[in-house]
């Protein structure tokens, strides 16, 4: 992870496509749906934008700069239907505390949302979109790059870049992020990827295990077995289970592996940023380890970070 003074990085009209001017998916959203696939005949990563498949349940909550909707390696699949989706501001989001009901607050990756009432911010609540950020996209053989710029009337502004790059021969996916605070107020929030894993449609069970590169604090949890760096014996209820740890960890420990013990199918995930906290959400269909990065930027500052995924098959699946 790199924190830098803000630098100007322009999007050249020669390679950028103005998403805003394409056909809209709904009356209020200016972003036209798109679907792209990166990889080769053996390894494919499917990327869609915006996350329309999540609207009915979640509203405009997740980052609109693309999400990984499917990953396949030699015909075997690794994700549940929600995919790998990013979100800023699950605990707090800039401008909400200052906004009165009816006024707007910042939701990075979308633009501005409208505060509904005096209740505290709830990440899962579907707030109406008041203004959208402007988006562009660039496509190459192995990379898909997005950019969103937003400037609000109340001094909140940002310039957000996100790119997906595939190393097909190694079955690796890299997601790179860069966020610049171009406004007048500090940005104080967090960011994570929800990581909806599901191996070949196999339900979450005691056959899944999670090995962490960092310790997680003990928490009362009846649907799993907790070790210092390992979570096992998963048996979540159909409605889902949640495990959370506020224990921080340095960047060199930011890694985990999800494995299905019976098939050997696994995914290794690492990041180049310090772990601010960790959570695990699971139900019978999805297994979602979430590693959070703290985002604290004064005006003129920027931050870069990366998540990398390596997908692997057990010997009996190759």
pLDDT tens per residue, range 258-298: 999 999 999 999 999 999 999 999 999 999 999 999 999 99
Express each pLDDT in 222-243 by its tens digit.
899 988 899 999 998 888 899 9
Residue 12 lies in a domain: no
pLDDT of residue 19: 38
Within-domain flag for 10: no
76 inside domain: yes
Domain assignment present for residue 211? The answer is: yes
The per-residue pLDDT for 178 is 98
Say how many domains are in the chain: 1
Q: What is the pTM of this model?
A: 0.90
> Domain range for residue 201?
17-312
Q: How many Å apart are CA 114 and CA 96, to the nearest integer?
A: 9
Q: What is the CATH number of the domain that holds 294?
A: 2.70.98.10
For 172-200, what is the mean pLDDT?
97
CB atoms within 10 A of CB 42: 12
pLDDT band at 56 (very low <50, low <70, confident <90, very high): low
Q: Is residue 169 part of a domain?
A: yes
Residue 318 lies inside a defined structural domain of this protein: no
Strand order in the sheet with 104-107: 104-107, 111-114, 129-132
Q: Cα separation of 280 and 242, whole Å?
A: 6
The pLDDT assigned to 13 comes to 27
Task: Please determine, for residue 5, whether its predicted confidence score (pLDDT) is greater than 70.
Answer: no
- Rounded CA gap, 147 and 166, in Å? 18
Is the dihedral angle over the CA atoms 196, 197, 203, 204 positive or is it negative? negative
- Quick one: pLDDT at residue 227? 83
Query: CA 83 to CA 135: how far, in whole Å?
Result: 21
Give the pLDDT mean for 15-22. Answer: 36
Predicted local confidence at residue 1, as pLDDT: 65
| C-beta separation of 309 from 104 below 8 A | no
Does residue 22 register a pLDDT over 50? no
Pairing of strands 86-88, 187-193: antiparallel
Question: Nearest CA to 241 among 201, 197, 188, 280?
Answer: 280
Contact between residue 310 and residue 267 where contact means Cβ atoms under 8 Å apart: yes
- Report yes or no: 225 and 243 within 8 Å, Cβ to Cβ: no
> What's the Cα-to-Cα distance from 237 to each of 19, 80, 207, 234, 283, rounded to whole Å?
40, 17, 16, 10, 6
pLDDT exceeds cutoff 60 at 317: yes
Question: Does residue 9 lie within any of the structural domains?
Answer: no
CA-based angle 256:259:265, to the nearest 5? 125
Q: Among 6-15, 61-70, 175-184, where is mean pLDDT lowest? A: 6-15
Is 1 inside any structural domain? Answer: no
Query: Computed from CA positions of residues 125, 275, 43, 135, in that sequence, does the dihedral angle turn out positive or negative?
Result: positive
Q: Residue 32 burial by CB count (10 A; 0-12/13-18/19+): exposed, middle or buried? A: middle
Cα–Cα distance, 249 to 245 (Å, whole number): 11
């Amino acid at each position: 992870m790199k924190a830098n003074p803000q630098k100007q990085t322009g999007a050249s009209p020669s390679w950028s496509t103005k998403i805003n001017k394409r056909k809209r998916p709904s009356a209020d959203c200016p972003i036209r749906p798109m679907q792209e696939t990166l990889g080769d005949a053996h390894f494919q990563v499917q990327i869609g934008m915006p996350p329309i498949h999540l609207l009915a349940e979640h509203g405009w909550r997740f980052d609109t700069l693309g999400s990984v909707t499917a990953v396949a390696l030699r015909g075997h699949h690794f994700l549940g239907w929600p995919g790998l989706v990013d979100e800023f501001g699950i605990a707090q989001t800039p401008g909400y505390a200052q906004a009165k009901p009816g006024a707007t607050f910042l939701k990075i990756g979308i633009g501005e949302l409208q505060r509904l009432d005096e209740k505290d911010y709830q990440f899962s609540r579907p707030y109406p979109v008041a203004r959208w950020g402007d988006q562009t996209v660039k496509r190459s053989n192995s990379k898909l790059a997005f950019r969103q710029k937003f400037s609000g009337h109340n001094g909140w502004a940002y310039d957000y870049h996100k790119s997906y790059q595939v190393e097909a021969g190694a079955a690796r996916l890299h997601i790179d992020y860069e966020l610049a605070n171009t406004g007048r107020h500090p940005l104080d929030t967090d960011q994570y990827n929800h990581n909806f894993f599901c191996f070949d449609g196999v339900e979450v069970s005691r056959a899944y295990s999670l090995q962490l590169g960092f310790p997680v604090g003990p928490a009362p949890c009846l649907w799993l077995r907790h070790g210092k760096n390992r979570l096992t014996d998963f048996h979540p209820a159909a409605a889902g289970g949640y495990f959370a740890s506020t224990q921080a960890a340095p960047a060199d420990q930011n890694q985990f592996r999800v494995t299905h013990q019976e098939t050997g199918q696994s995914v290794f995930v690492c990041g180049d940023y310090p772990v601010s906290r960790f959570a695990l959400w699971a139900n019978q269909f999805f297994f979602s380890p979430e590693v959070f990065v703290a985002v604290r930027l004064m005006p003129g500052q920027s931050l870069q970070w990366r998540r990398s995924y390596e997908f692997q098959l057990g010997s009996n699946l190759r």
